[in-house]
Structure 1
Amino acid sequence: MQPIFVDTRGLKGALAAFRAFLFYLNTFAWAGPLFVIMVFLTPYVLAFDRTRRKAQHFFNTLWAKISSFPFYRVVISGLENLPPQEQPAVYVANHQSFLDITTLFHINRDFKFVSKTANFFIPIIGWSMFLTGHIQLDRMDRRSQQKCLKDCGMMLERGTSVAFFPEGTRSKDGKLHAFKRGAFVVASRHNVPVVPITLDGTGDLMPNSREYLLFPGTVHVRIHPAIPPGPVDALTRAAECAIASGLPPERLAPEILGT
């Protein structure tokens, strides 16, 4: 597997750029017709399943799997640690790459992603996120942050899980960094478990800020035992430790190694 920071010159870089081109071509080719189906289903979904929107999530999952399987392999361990489908939970994962979102859909749980507002303006893909009811967040706007937490709480109260990348943004150096408290405030306040998930390999395949490259390889998804509801700081630290346990030491930032 390629390291996170790679020499992109020569044949290897050219092949990675070509693979990325094919990946995006495949992604948008499937996103179009699946989005049309989602649009036609919207009246039914809003009438009978306004919050969870399982039908829309099904097509999100189908799109993610079709987009990824020709280009990289996903190996999942710890499926027995997933809570039941009907159990609302806060899912948290480390964030290395653009591929993290498509990869997380492989665990076959319907949840609402917390995603930056700009992503909802991406043609077709962002629009499908809107139809599915994923949660918008402008990290620079305090009111947006407060609304995001409120929306997440509403989802949980109505039986719908939410998913966060608690580092707040994709890692710039490929290492796991300290978590922000928002996801754990939501879990503690609404008395739901936190499910930590380690994603290992997405940053090797498509490094952050080099989304024009896609290397072949395997992504390992490790689902850790759910953490029962508790104080915010304890939840944060427990989730950090769980996710860090699925990564080699060289992928941990000093603030993680030192605590």
Structure 2
Amino acid sequence: MSLLIACLPLGLATAPRAPPSPLAMATMAPPLARVAMSASAVNLDAAAVDAAAAAAVLPPTPKTNAVSRKVFGITFALLTAFVVTGIYPLVISATIYSKLFDNERRRANDYVVQWWARTTLTLFGAKVALEGQENLPPPGEAVMYVPNHCSFLDIFSLSGFLPRRFKYISKIEILRIPLVGWAMGFAKHIALARTDRKSQLKTLKEAVETLKAGNSLVTFPEGTRSKDGVLGSFKKGPFTMAARAGVRIVPISVVGAAARDLAYSSATPPRSRLGTFPVGTHVFGTGALPIAIPRGVRIIVHPPLDAPVAKQEDESMAAARAAVLSGLPAAMRPAEA
């Protein structure tokens, strides 16, 4: 998981500077922070705030982000390792049970992973909201979930708060990480060597077999993490897998987990179960935590799409991308959208 942790730019305390104008604050604040801002706080009416937000562009990456990434990454890694070490007897017990009674699906392992991800985020003070729960497939139906991917927090949020069990298709390097990777292997998550054609074909076959066995899959169709949070183009692989297995596609929008969303407009630091962190000067000039914690992640589940037809996966891919885009704020949409 440490490979994922290094992906998240976050703001450490920097030298004090002049506060930005009210209009700049409204323009530069991330979408979730804007919701929390009242019009009176910036001396603008709601229409003016919305107009400024609509014209917003992604802010430049501050120089302090490299240090901040390390601070947050190390802290989160230590907490994750602590939780994983504490529950590893459960991982082993679940694996033994699954091998004896549920070797194909290994649901017991999935529930341990769900509890671990939820516990880790809760201890860090994170809040995750699920929207569109009525669009989830019936329990027991295998589907292909296709969410956008902008940080390692997507994985924790989906694992802990999506109320259906599933397997990831993950880089093979992740499954080699001690403890975390081993637990994923025990749960039968699927490894992918992205540069190896033979491995890719093996992954395709394994994914189709997994879907046919009744397991849902989560695959990030962009193929990699978006560094700025803006939705990238989709790859055909997940839709080919779904077509061959005859399963439906469920698009998901994840909002609030990108680097630019991990900011606070309030000078009062949120309190996590680990205590209140000191207040620093945020990179946008407002009070914020030196270690940013996601306080408003949203998982938006869109209506399922019919199983793709062989040789027509491009149509399903376009429909899924349009659905994911519909749940994203303007700052996460590409220019052509």
| TM-score (normalizing by structure 2) | 0.69
Contact 1:17 1:213 in 2 (8 A): no
Contact 2:146 2:218 in 1 (8 A): yes
Aligned residue number for residue 240 of structure 2: 185
- The answer to whether residue 294 in structure 2 is matched with residue 219 in structure 1 is no
Equivalent residue for 1:91, pick from 145, 149, 165: 145
> Alignment RMSD, CA only?
2.4
- The answer to whether residue 80 in structure 2 is matched with residue 27 in structure 1 is yes
Shift of 1:111: 0.8
Equivalent residue for 1:172, pick from 218, 221, 227: 227
Equivalent residue for 2:195, pick from 140, 153, 158: 140
Q: Provide the rounded CA distance (Å) in 1 between the counterparts of 2:112 and 2:86.
A: 10
Q: Provide the rounded CA distance (Å) in 1 between the counterparts of 2:9 and 2:100.
A: 48
User: 1:90-169 maps to which residues of 2 (within 5 A)?
Assistant: 90-105=144-159, 106-169=161-224
Shift of 1:185: 0.5
Shift of 1:203: 1.1
Contact 2:10 2:68 in 1 (8 A): no
Q: Provide the rounded CA distance (Å) in 2 between the counterparts of 1:6 and 1:124.
A: 26
- The answer to whether residue 136 in structure 2 is matched with residue 58 in structure 1 is no
Aligned residues: 249
Deviation per residue, 1:6-53 (Å, 9 max, x gap): 654528978886555443222111101322222133232112111210
Mean Cα deviation higher: 10-19 or 116-125: 10-19
- The answer to whether residue 319 in structure 2 is matched with residue 250 in structure 1 is no
User: 1:33-44 maps to which residues of 2 (within 5 A)?
Assistant: 33-44=86-97
Shift of 1:124: 0.6
Deviation per residue, 1:83-137 (Å, 9 max, x gap): 0120010011000001111110211211110000000111111110000000000
Aligned residue number for residue 314 of structure 2: 233
Contact 2:231 2:334 in 1 (8 A): yes
User: Is the alpha carbon distance of 1:15 and 1:229 closer, same or farther for their aligned partners in structure 2, counting shifts above 3 Å?
Assistant: closer
User: Is the alpha carbon distance of 1:131 and 1:214 closer, same or farther for their aligned partners in structure 2, counting shifts above 3 Å?
Assistant: farther
Contact 2:262 2:293 in 1 (8 A): yes
| TM-score (normalizing by structure 1) | 0.88
Letter in 1 for 2:304: A
SS at match of 1:10: coil
Shift of 1:247: 0.8
Q: Provide the rounded CA distance (Å) in 2 between the counterparts of 1:206 and 1:58.
A: 28
Letter in 1 for 2:302: H
- The answer to whether residue 17 in structure 2 is matched with residue 10 in structure 1 is no
User: Is the alpha carbon distance of 1:156 and 1:185 closer, same or farther for their aligned partners in structure 2, counting shifts above 3 Å?
Assistant: same
SS at match of 2:150: coil
Letter in 1 for 2:206: D
Q: Unaligned stretches of 5+ in structure 2?
A: 1-7, 17-63, 264-289
- The answer to whether residue 133 in structure 2 is matched with residue 79 in structure 1 is yes
Deviation per residue, 1:121-172 (Å, 9 max, x gap): 1111111000000000011111111111111100111111111001011012
SS at match of 2:258: helix
SS at match of 1:168: coil
* Richer in helix (by share): 1
Q: Provide the rounded CA distance (Å) in 2 between the counterparts of 1:26 and 1:44.
A: 27
Q: Unaligned stretches of 5+ in structure 1?
A: none
Q: Which has the larger radius of gyration?
A: 2
SS at match of 1:69: helix
SS at match of 1:59: helix
Mean Cα deviation higher: 187-196 or 131-140: 187-196
Letter in 1 for 2:100: A
